[in-house]
């Protein structure tokens, strides 16, 4: 009786092995699947990753240090709190400064007039709030 059970178990194991072989065979015969896997593995991006792997590992090691993780989280929450429109305006302002080759000197009367413009006073207000927050 025990011998029969043992034989049955062995035949079941063999059958399971054959089924697994059939599945692997299906995968190996699937030309399109293998093509897709090859394209994914052999690509410009994977070569780049392999080439810079030592630097990447070093960077990951630095980034995942507890103190750095906390800083990154703070940076992320700062990013989330930033207004997209305001950032766009800031970026445009920087671009305008870069585009202006020479900064013309401004007279005191012109400066006072400019300070009274609503757009400028709004900008100053933002700057003051930021400075206040940094000082608190």
Partner 1 sequence: MINMAEKKKFLIVGGGAGGAILANSLVKDFDVTVINDSPYHYYWPQLLQIAFRNDYSNLYRSLSSLLVKGVNLVIDRVKKVDLQDRIVTLSNNKTMNYDYVAIAPGVTIEHKGIDGNEKLVEQYGDFHSTPQNASKVFDVVSNMKKGTFVIAVGDPYHRCPPSPYEGILLADEVFRLRGVRNDINMILAVPYPRAYPAETFNEVLEPILKERGINVMTFFTADKIDTENKKITSLEGEELSYDAAIVVPVHKGPKIEIKPDDAINQDGFINADKFTNQILKYDDAFAIGDASTSANAKTGVTAHLQAKVVSKRVLGLDARNTGRTNCPTELGFEKGTFVISDYNHPAAKVPANTINFIMKRLFADAYWDIIRHPEFWDPIFDVYFENTQPEVLWKLFR
Q: State in angstroms the smallest separation of the CB of 37 from partner 1.
A: 6
What is d(CA 127, CA 86) in angstroms, rounded to the nearest whole number? Answer: 12
17 binds partner 1 (CB under 8 A): no
Q: Residue 20 or 115: which CB sits closer to partner 1?
A: 20
Provide the 8-state DSSP code for 106.
-
26 binds partner 1 (CB under 8 A): yes
35 binds partner 1 (CB under 8 A): yes
Stretch that binds partner 1, among 24-32, 65-73, 92-100, 116-124 (CB under 8 A): 24-32
What is d(CA 123, CA 79) in angstroms, rounded to the nearest whole number? Answer: 19
Among 7, 9, 17, 20, binds partner 1 (CB under 8 A): 20
What is d(CA 75, CA 100) in angstroms, rounded to the nearest whole number? Answer: 31
Among 7, 9, 14, 33, binds partner 1 (CB under 8 A): 33
Whether the CB-CB separation of 62 and 68 falls below 8 Å is answered with yes
Report 38-97 residues binding partner 1 (CB under 8 A). Answer: 39-40
Whether the CB-CB separation of 98 and 92 falls below 8 Å is answered with no
Whether the CB-CB separation of 115 and 121 falls below 8 Å is answered with yes
- For the record, the structure tokens of 119 come out as 């757009």
Residues forming contacts to partner 1 in the complex (CB under 8 A) are: 12, 16, 19-20, 22-23, 26-27, 29-30, 32-33, 35-37, 39-40
């Amino acid at each position: 009786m025990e011998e029969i059970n043992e034989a049955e178990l062995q035949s079941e194991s063999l059958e399971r092995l054959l089924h697994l072989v059939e599945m692997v065979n299906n995968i190996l015969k699937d030309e399109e699947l293998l093509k897709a896997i090859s394209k994914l593995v052999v690509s410009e991006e994977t070569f780049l990753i392999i080439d810079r792997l030592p630097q990447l590992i070093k960077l990951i090691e630095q980034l995942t240090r507890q103190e750095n993780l906390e800083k990154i989280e703070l940076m992320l929450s700062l990013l989330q709190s930033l207004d997209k429109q305001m950032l766009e305006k800031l970026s445009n302002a920087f671009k305008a400064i870069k585009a202006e080759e020479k900064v013309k000197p401004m007279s005191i009367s012109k400066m006072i007039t400019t300070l009274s413009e609503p757009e400028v006073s709004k900008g100053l207000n933002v700057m003051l709030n930021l400075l206040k927050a940094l000082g608190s």
